[in-house]
Amino acid sequence: MIDSMAAERSPQTAVSAAPVLELKQVSRTFGSTCALSEVDVVVEAGQICAVLGPNGAGKTTMLRTVIGLTQPTSGTVRVLGRPVARLGARHGRDRVALVPSGDRTFYMRLSGFENLLFFARLLGMPVRVAKQRVRQCLSDVDLSDVAGKPVSTYSHGMQKRLSVARALLGQPALLLVDESTHDLDPAAARRVQELVSAVAGRSAAVLWATQRLDEIRAFADRVIVLNKGRVLFSGTVPELLAQQPKERYVLRLRPERPLGDVPLADAAARLVRGVTVVPVDAEHVLVELGPDAVLGRVICDLTQCGVAVLACREERSGIESAFLSIVEAPDQ
C-alpha cells in the first residue's frame, strides 16, 4: 500500500493558489546558538514534505515555529496565507495539528474516547458534534474497539494512532508530524504512514520530521535535509537519490575450485575488471560500482571464474548514502 501512496495523491491539484505553509528566510537563535538559519520551505495542499536531519538539526524547532510555540528571530512563517502569529480561532488556528514525538500527551487513566472528547471540546466543538467527530476519528485509526479502555492499556503503536486521531479532530489543512515512527516496529510505523498519507489525500499539507531515512521512499513528495539549522538540500526523493555516491555492495564468497595460494578475497579482486573490489576479510569483499557498472555482471564474472557468491547486501541504502554525502560534506 505504501509503495503507491505518493502516486495516489495529486499535490499538483491544490485547491488554493497560496501554499498551505510557507517559510521565508526563517532564523531562530537561542542566545549564541543558531537553531534555524535562513530556512525556506514551501508545502502545497496535498503534499507530504519530509524533513530529514540528525539530532540537533533543528527539526523540532522548525515545527514549533510553524505551530506558533516559538517565534522566529527573523523571517516570516505563513500558514493558509496568513502570518502564523495572526492565526486565531476564526482564521485557521484549529486547521493546524501536531502529532508529537512523545507519548505522555494523554490522560492515561481516561479512555481513548474521553481523551479525544476533551481535546475536541478544547477546539470549541459542541458536545454532540464533538462526540460524533471523536467516534469518526477513532474509526479512522482502527481504535473503535478499544475506545472505552484507559489509554494506559494501549500499546505504544495504539497510542501513536490515538495521537493521529487527535490531530484529525479539526480536519487539519496542515499536519505536522514530529518523529512519530522512530521507535515503532515496522508494522506500526507503516500504519501511521498510511494514516498520514490518507490525510494528505484529502488535500492537507504535511510536514513530516524524521530520522528514519528509508521510510520516505514512495511516501514523501518533497524532501528537505536540515543540519545545524540550515537547509542543505530541497527537492524530490529521486533528486535526493541522485546525490548518492557510488553504489557499494558487500559480497560473501566461496571458492568452487582451487585458487592456489592466493586468499579468496584477493583472488576475487583480481578476477573482476572495471570495478573496485576491496577485500574485507577471508570471505567478504566490498564492491564499488562506477556509473556504467552492473552488479549482475560482477557476480557473473566471479561465477565464471569459479567463485560462488553466497550473499550480497548493499552497504547502505541509497537514501542513507545520499543523506550522509550531504550532511558530511566538508563545507557543512
Domains of the chain: 2-241 (3.40.50.300), 248-327 (3.30.70)
Count the helix, strand and coil residues of the chain and give each as a percent rounded to the nearest 5. 35, 25, 35
Q: How far is CA 217 from CA 29, 111, 163, in A?
A: 32, 35, 23
Between the two ends of the chain, the Cα-to-Cα distance in Å is: 37
pLDDT at residue 121 above 50?
yes
For residue 53, give the nearest of 156, 167, 178 by alpha carbon: 178
Contact indicator for 64, 42 with CB cutoff of 8 Å: no
Q: How far is CA 258 from CA 83, 176, 261, in A?
A: 73, 60, 9
pLDDT at residue 53 above 80?
yes
Burial track 246-268 (b if 16+ CB lie within 10 A, e otherwise) = ebbbebebeeeeebeeeebbebb
Q: How far is CA 166 from CA 46, 109, 196, in A?
A: 20, 17, 12
pLDDT at residue 234 above 60?
yes
Contact indicator for 167, 135 with CB cutoff of 8 Å: no
Amino acid at 143: L
- pLDDT tens, 288-298? 776 667 888 88
Output the pLDDT for position 6: 52
The answer to whether the pTM exceeds 0.85 is no
Separation of alpha carbons 201 and 11, rounded Å: 8
Q: When comparing pLDDT for 152 and 156, which is higher?
A: 152
Confidence of residue 209 (pLDDT cuts 50, 70, 90): very high
Contact indicator for 263, 274 with CB cutoff of 8 Å: no
- pLDDT tens, 77-90? 999 888 887 665 55
Separation of alpha carbons 240 and 278, rounded Å: 27
Q: When comparing pLDDT for 118 and 100, which is higher?
A: 118
Count other Cβ atoms within 10 Å, centred on residue 75. Answer: 17
Separation of alpha carbons 199 and 149, rounded Å: 26
Strand duo 205-210 + 48-52: pairing: parallel
